[in-house]
Structure 1
């Protein structure tokens, strides 16, 4: 068969494959709001999507490029979301949701493995897959033994644009590096609402993903002013703000206790990064606090990279963390959250105890008190980070008396003296009322210009 006849046949077959793929996506979107009882159906359709992925793998890339040209002439723009962290999916969820109902776009979500500090391998895709299933988000799973095969599939899928979750190249396979994905338009929404530490701000224009982005969407003009002028920053508001504010209260600890506390710990427990993590200075204090207050719930929400660091421990530290976990788990008023679904617990809780970073800002959206275990050697806050700090109570990890004072004060119903500072921060972060719509319109405007 001549090459021209082969291509003609593929052009005939490909639209049918795409229609089947979109029909399955539509079916999953219809099931998205029908609750956990539909989980089996979602898994079944995910498997069908996986089968179609294999079919698409056999379609010639030149035909897909022709399809892409047709899209640019009026059909929907295919947007690929590469997801390695369900914990930070909330930064993209509303954008994906807006695209589902916008005829200009054809969103496709795909999970990939990750490699966080402390881990020697790429892992975690199963957790991300399960997390997205729980949220009702239809998705493909890119789990080939050789990630370059997944990259080849992405190229054949021919997305007109890609969102990656993080600018850190080391967190994921090199197959999904900014350089490898630069065959199409790249857009970025930070997994954190704002860069609150200065050392991140000064390195932004050195990050390959940000340097290759067409547009970088940020929460407020204050953040844009922090960003290097060389980066294509657009002020739209941040989708995670709205997601967290509209969340319904939920709580995984079933004691019936009135007062509820979230304790969050960052992974930077050593020195050389941002140096906020204080877990090893405070974990025994937090265990003692939970034991002292059996009529108060304590929900531990560690950074996912802290868990991979735990798993890599050996010797004395491993014995300590194993003993802590056992003691924590045996208490009836304690719990652990590792699936990234913290928006509901934020709403249901009364107090946050944290050492950094993003929770310092995010929890204030609910205008509830924050106790900040502050290491004196952490890297400096940025300008917006200083605004965030005004709304939290700073406590030295060595001064447990201060912790006990504030915990007792808030349990007794004390009014937060910093509530006005929190209100000012919330006003700044909610200037743009519909970030997702602004982001989609900015992308549409950019699509009108040459690649």
Structure 2
């Protein structure tokens, strides 16, 4: 049995010559699209392709098999040109052959032929000028776009924030104008320590039978970056704007040869002010210097446009299309992962990771966890799901809160899960649980407005030293019940679990613009198509 994942990656990242073993070569530009279509050379006999348990199957326009190539378990990786022979099924006397043709070899052959033809035509008298001209031509050809479909790559490292890009990923995979590659890697903490996030996101795509390129190991990233360049990605979507979340090979400077697209994993970055620059929002991230488009939920405000004038991030990159994530959150089916037993109410407790004193300063977990245990123990009619920020454990391990250790956190988790009405949700999307919940208790940033999309009562515990809210942030906080002590928070929680939320109408007003466009991904795809058409 062949490794279908390895062969899928092999066939979708190479260009091939195709012809008869004992006859003519029909094309030197055949390629295999990830959607099952053959490109570069299409006849009725060679129209689709797929992998079975033993090899590669070429199919005609009616999906009937025409040629079968028996394959080894894994592709051969060396410096020789790989040749694979297969049986033409309608005629047993005919065998076909596909041969790997690298992009570099193709261009070298083309340039060499052009040089020889010109030399024969005009003689040797201008040889030095010819050499310079062809050197420049070869450089230009090596970077030229040589394909007709729009090639889009996603670099992903987080299962939790996948809903922000999933509609675009699915839509482009289903659209014949696009060819899509997924590159999965691990998330890093401060750029050095891997948080081992590859397995959960890989499991999601395995479950949905979607192929991907494995870049889980740092040694893989150099190779994958080079393959992305050879593949000539027209656009790259990287899942996070934080450079330290990715290995250096996937940094903005290293990806700047393509058109970088950023789709925020939060709905708005205009909620809070910058921790470093209290007079500004979060639009001064260095990564934005490299991107082609930032597709955002709301148009830039006058204040944001003014702030951008003080740096070298162009206002031209920002385009308002609505929010795919907001639509996903709104439509997420309710799913409560805990056994309700004798519980009659459901609450999600979301804990942010900014627990220290020198960043956003919104996280309060080390200060309140014991009170939460005590409250949960005395309110066993409430099913409580603890949903920590993906970086909370790493932040505790790094000593961001003096006196609270990783061992303390692990002891808390043991205590928490021993209670009959509590549980923990990590490395999965939270939105099914919040959709099913009766209330959300949070100290986070995005959860302060995301759960308003689902119409949930939200209680927050505010710190006196936390980062300030922007004008939009202050408006959004009108849909949240703000408290400053745990006693006040518990009182508000108990009130809202038994009564209607008087902030519900304010929440509807807050989120209206984010969800009025049901399909922001269509706007994003149209913009990519326009960009390619304008340069083709």
Both proteins in one fold, TM over 0.5:
yes
List gaps (5 residues or longer) in structure 1.
1-8, 29-47
- Separation of aligned partners in 2, 1:370 and 1:306: 21
Q: Is 2:274 the partner of 1:199?
A: yes
Say yes or no: does 1:189 pair with 2:263: yes
Is the aligned partner of 1:96 residue 2:138? no
1:38-86 deviation per Cα after TM superposition (whole angstroms, max 9, x unaligned): xxxxxxxxxx9x9679699986343597797342xxx321110000111
Are the aligned partners of 2:366 and 2:404 in contact in 1 as well (CA < 8 Å)? no
Unaligned stretches of 5+ residues in structure 2:
1-13, 19-27, 39-47, 52-70, 83-99, 108-140
Q: Does 1:124 align with 2:197?
A: yes
More strand by share: 2
Question: 3-state DSSP class of the match of 1:390?
Answer: helix
Q: What is the DSSP-based 3-state SS (H/G/I as helix, E as strand, rest coil) of the residue aligned with 2:391?
A: helix
Deviation of the 1:366 alpha carbon? 0.9
Q: CA deviation at 1:191?
A: 0.9
> Which residue does 2:23 correspond to in 1?
none
Structure 1 residue 142 and structure 2 residue 156: aligned?
Answer: no
1:43 is aligned to: none
Alignment equivalent of 2:32, drawn from 6, 14, 18: 18
Which runs of structure 2 are paired with 1:364-379 in the superposition (5 Å)? 364-379=452-467
Deviation of 1:153 after TM superposition, in Å, equals 2.2
Aligned pair 1:169/2:243, yes or no? Answer: yes
Distance 1:51 1:391, change over 3 A: farther
Greater Rg over alpha carbons, structure: 2
Alignment of 1:77-88 (within 5 A): 77-88=150-161
Cα–Cα, structure 1 residues 294 and 119, in superposed 2: closer, same or farther, change >3 Å? farther
The alignment partner of 1:166 has SS state of: coil
> What whole-Å deviation, never above 9, does each CA across 1:320-344 have from its counterpart, x for those lacking one?
2232111101112111111232121
Residue number in structure 2 paired with 1:157: 231
CA distance, structure 2, for counterparts of residue 275 and residue 423 of structure 1: 28
Q: Are residues 1:109 and 2:182 paired?
A: yes
Higher relative contact order (CA 8 A, sep 6+): 1
Report the number of matched residues.
Answer: 417
What is residue 39 of structure 1 aligned with on the other side?
A: none
Cα RMSD, aligned residues only: 3.3
Partner residue in 1 for 2:130: none
Question: 1:199: how far off?
Answer: 0.8
Alignment of 1:344 with 2:358, yes or no, is no
Question: Which residue pairs with 2:129 in the alignment?
Answer: none
Distance in 2, matches of 1:15 and 1:261, equals 57
Aligned counterpart, 1:69: 145
Distance 1:78 1:53 in 2: 25
Q: Which secondary structure does the structure 1 equivalent of 2:347 belong to?
A: strand
Query: SS of the residue aligned with 1:353?
Result: strand
Q: Does 1:298 align with 2:384?
A: yes
Aligned position for 2:526: 441
Contact 1:90–1:240 (CA<8 Å) still a contact in 2? yes
- CA–CA separation in structure 1 for the residues paired with 2:435 and 2:196: 30
Check 1:435–1:260 CA distance in 2 against 1; reply closer, same or farther (3 A cut). same
Matched residue, 2:411: 323
SS at match of 2:32: helix
The residue that corresponds to 1:214 in the other structure is 292
